[in-house]
């Protein structure tokens, strides 16, 4: 049960948009643990629970919705964040 992450880093570059991740903001909306060159997490092995999509699902959503629905909603959010970046860079 793994989330199909493309590792684009769009979610890491917009942590300011969610109350759940705002504390990770380095001041410009980007996660303080995000390497903007590699798009990887500098604390991947010890990243916060919210960043473990599958674990976050089990802890907070498993009783409320099916995994495939949770993945679908998250993929929609991923796409929106990515497209928002693309539009900003035009």
* Tens of pLDDT, residues 9-65: 999 999 999 999 999 999 999 999 999 899 899 999 999 999 999 999 999 999 999
Domain that holds residue 32: 15-88
DSSP 30: S
- How many domains, the chain? 1
The reported pLDDT for the residue numbered 44 is: 94
Asked if the model's pLDDT at residue 68 lies above 90, the reply is yes
Q: What are phi and psi of 57, to 5 degrees?
A: -60, -50
Query: For residue 3, is it within any domain?
Result: no
Query: For residue 38, is it within any domain?
Result: yes
pTM given for the model = 0.85
The reported pLDDT for the residue numbered 67 is: 96
Query: For residue 8, is it within any domain?
Result: no
Query: For residue 34, is it within any domain?
Result: yes
Q: How far apart are CA 14 and CA 30, in angstroms?
A: 6
Q: What are phi and psi of 32, to 5 degrees?
A: -65, -10
Query: For residue 40, is it within any domain?
Result: yes
Q: Predicted confidence band at 86 (pLDDT cuts at 50, 70, 90)?
A: confident
Query: For residue 19, is it within any domain?
Result: yes
Query: For residue 6, is it within any domain?
Result: no
Query: For residue 66, is it within any domain?
Result: yes
């Amino acid at each position: 049960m793994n989330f199909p992450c493309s590792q684009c880093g769009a979610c890491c570059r917009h942590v300011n948009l969610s109350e759940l991740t705002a504390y990770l903001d380095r001041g410009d909306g980007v996660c303080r643990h995000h390497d903007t060159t590699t798009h990887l997490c500098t604390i991947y092995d010890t990243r916060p629970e919210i960043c473990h999509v599958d674990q976050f699902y089990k802890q907070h959503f498993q009783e409320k919705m099916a995994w495939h629905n949770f993945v679908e909603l998250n993929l929609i959010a991923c796409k929106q964040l990515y497209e928002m970046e693309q539009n900003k860079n035009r």
